[in-house]
Amino acid sequence: MNELRIKRGYSLNLVGAPSPDLEQLNRPDRVAVLPERIPFIKPRLKVAVEDTVKVGSVLFIDKRRPEITFLSPGGGKIAEINFGPRRVIREIVVALDEKEAFEPFPKLDGTEIDSIERLDLITTIINGGMWPLIRELPYRDIARPEAMPPAILVGMDAKEPFLANPESYLKGNVDLFRSGLRILRRLAGENSVHLFTSPRQDYVRQTLGSDITCLVSGPYPADDPGVMLYHTKTSSSENRAWFVQGQDVLMLARLFAFGRYPTERVVAVGGSAADRPRHFRTRLGVPLIHLAPEVKHNGDVRYTAGGLFRGYAIPSSSYLGIYETALNLVPEGNVPGELLGLFRPGPRKPTFSRAFTSRVHRRALTVDCNVHGGDRACIACGYCTYVCPVDILPQFTYKALYAGEVEEALSHGLLDCVECGLCSFVCPSKIDLYETFKQAKADVYLEQLRA
Ligand code: SF4
Ligand code: SF4
């Protein structure tokens, strides 16, 4: 087993960490898929309101790659199809039947997984709706089924506050997880599947033992597959490695083990406004209000699907997307008296600079969404460079993009950006470097696709 120490990054000790307890949630009465939250796809609907669907029925396809299907996480009736601006499909909502029907898919045991032709394996995964869970670096689009990945990376940690801890979904499912790794090894062909975790993940280390290829230590985002790739690749031919989230390895395995579209999800609910910060066993596309019916805060609360750095704000009336395994509830920070937050000493507020007195003690801190003032010019403090785990010079990359010099930004390493959000977080001028880089990477990719 290799060991890797990532030096750059930043870890926060925040109030509202989910306890490791795993609580079984009641079955919700509806679930949804959020096409808008699946990057780069152009969905074409295959259902209409009032249609009856089974678990595993096709809801929509990607116009760009029509063979890639997106399946229903529930059996029942299509209750709503909600659109955003420019007819973007936001939500396809399924009202669940008391007794749900399932589309059947082929079951494969370990020996059959080892002997099936790779192309047939890919077709089985695509038809079973699991292909979107396999993604490709550096753009993080759904993997190209026709490509042979230089490697497949699976990270087993939860450094971003607050994501589902691997122990919570791995317990009781170790054999299933190993079956998922078997599937990934067949997909990787002659190349490797890298399973990495951190030394602090005792349960993962003890149960998966020799399956783990690398122990990665360091602050957030040391557990990101892009960081792992950046620090281990030997040539640019490895840039388009595939990656799969730890919990999604289990989803793949369940498809083959049970011949059904898997719907189980372990979700972490955290954040200082979470009434009951803990892990819940629930299902794909669960309503947010089902996960967190109460909040622990008097003012406005932001619902964030995913972690606090990379997640996205979402109305509490919405649902959890297919990639999200966490819901974080954070005060908006727009309460009276906080308007001058920039000038108020904050023993409980996180800071990378020395703006708040919290820098001098080690207590868990409270985060809110107040940026403490408007955009300000870069003051060349270098904090963004200090935390960036992939040695981009974010302030120079940003300036290049601001001036329209995309080639220069690429030469700074724009495509290595793992979209961790740290540079924006530490920036005292609150320049949104992260969104700028994410958008610039997407623009480069879309340009390639059009070429
Ligand atoms: S430039 Fe990218 S990788 Fe570096 S800190 Fe910013 S978001 Fe993270
Ligand atoms: S952290 Fe912000 S202000 Fe400081 S160098 Fe980077 S972009 Fe400029």
* pLDDT tens readout for residues 93-129: 999 999 999 999 999 999 999 999 999 999 999 999 9
User: DSSP H helical segments within 190-336, as ranges?
Assistant: 202-208, 225-232, 246-258, 288-291
In whole angstroms, give the CA distance from residue 45 to residue 413.
37
pLDDT value of residue 333: 74
Task: Please give the distance, rounded to the nearest whole angstrom, from the Cα atom of residue 425 to the centre of ligand 2.
Answer: 10
Q: What is the pLDDT of residue 344?
A: 37
Tokens encoding 317: 């009336």
Q: Whose CA is nearest to atom 8 of ligand 2?
A: 378
Ligand number nearest to the C-alpha of 398: 2
**Ligand number with the minimum distance to the CA of 423:** 1
Residue 36 is classified by DSSP as G
Ligand 1: residue whose CA is nearest its atom 6: 423
Report the residue among 351, 375, 395, 432 best suited for mutation to probe ligand 2: largest number of ligand atoms under 8 A from its CB. 395
**pLDDT confidence of residue 187:** 98
pLDDT number for residue 332: 85
Structure pTM? 0.93
Q: In which residue are the tokens 């995913």 written?
A: 306
| Distance from residue 173's CA to the centre of ligand 2 (Å) | 44
Residue 330 backbone zone (phi > 0: left; psi -120 to 50: alpha; other: beta): beta
One-character DSSP codes across 185-239: HHHHTTSEEEEEE-TT-HHHHHHHGGG--EEEESSTTTT-HHHHHHHH-SSGGGT
Residue-range domains of the chain with CATH: 28-104 (2.40.50.100), 107-258 (no CATH), 375-451 (no CATH)
**Quick one: which ligand is closest to 427's CA?**
2
**Alpha carbons 307 and 59: distance in angstroms, whole number:** 27
- Interval between CA 218 and ligand 1 midpoint (Å): 15
Mutation to probe ligand 1, out of 434, 435, 436, 438 (largest number of atoms < 8 A from CB): 434
pLDDT, one tens digit for every residue, the chain (451 residues): 899 999 999 998 899 999 988 999 999 999 999 999 999 999 999 999 999 999 999 999 999 999 999 999 999 999 999 999 999 999 999 999 999 999 999 999 999 999 999 999 999 999 999 999 999 999 999 999 999 999 999 999 999 999 999 999 999 999 999 999 999 999 999 999 999 999 999 999 999 999 999 999 999 999 999 999 999 999 999 999 999 999 999 999 999 999 999 999 999 999 999 998 999 999 999 999 999 998 887 778 999 999 999 999 999 999 999 999 999 999 987 644 333 333 334 445 556 665 555 555 556 777 666 655 566 799 999 999 999 999 999 999 999 999 999 999 999 999 999 999 999 999 999 899 999 999 999 999 999 999 8
In this predicted structure, what is the pLDDT of residue 316? Answer: 95
Q: How confident is the model at residue 346, as a pLDDT?
A: 47
Tell me, in angstroms, the distance from the centre of ligand 1 to residue 448's CA.
22
pLDDT at 341: 35
Q: Which atom of ligand 2 is nearest to the CA of 379?
A: 3
How far apart CA 210 and CA 213 sit, in angstroms, is 7
User: Ligand 1, closest atom to CA 416?
Assistant: 3
